[in-house]
Amino acid sequence: MRKEEFLKPINSELMGNSGIKASKPQKNHIETFKTGTTTVGLTCKDAIILGTDKRATMSYFVASKTAEKLHKIQDHLWMTIAGSVADCLYLVDILRAETAIYQLKHDNRPIKVQSAGKLLSNILYQNKMFPFQVGLILGGVTEEEGPVILNISAYGSILPGKYCAVGSGQSYSYGVLEAKFKDNLSIEKGKEIIKKAITSSIIRDMYSGNGIDIVVIKKEGPADREFIPI
């Protein structure tokens, strides 16, 4: 039985002849908290750069000023998170475990970014009736693919691109990315654009703030991580 069948009302001939009326489910009011963030990613020459702010919010309350929104999946593969913290961290753990198992089975060969993205997309799509409340940017560099950025939504859609932004401050970041991005950027120029993009969101979006976290994933060597206080 598909998940959709569980959501249909019960109407049968037996119920109709018995005079029993199926009661409608009561609508319970569940208070939800608006959350926000700004996460940005772009591709450079033989590298990708991911950046996030550090603020976590619950409605108008700043729940944390040191939230971790940049997560290492594997040495060559990192992910930014936006949305429900519990959902995001669960998916980070699952993806980290699945990619580690894949690499162990393949003589520690790095998993392709597209393959990791498809794996995550399948997990999200299988739960689309009760979706994870997330917005994710998956990025990495492999020998076969080069630098890859994937924007992955809560329903599992994959939108590859040379740059992207996710979160409540994405509109302001996209303004900077559209104006400043060029092909074959140097790492220093790319970092400068990421800083400007997130800063523009911090200035205008009340749900973003408290500094900028940046990671540079290069074709060779370990990733470089940097925190910029604001």
| Catalytic residue annotation | 37
Within 67-183, residue ranges assigned H as helices are 85-105, 113-126, 170-180
Interatomic CA distance for residues 224 and 75, integer angstroms: 11
Shortest CA distance to 130 belongs to which of 154, 151, 94?
154
How many residues does this entry show for the chain?
Answer: 230
Interatomic CA distance for residues 115 and 111, integer angstroms: 7
Tokens of residue 56, six digits = 């976590």
Tokens of residue 90, six digits = 């669960």
120 alpha-carbon distance from chain centroid: 10
Give kind and range of the element (H or E) at residue 74. strand 70-74
Give kind and range of the element (H or E) at residue 140. strand 134-142
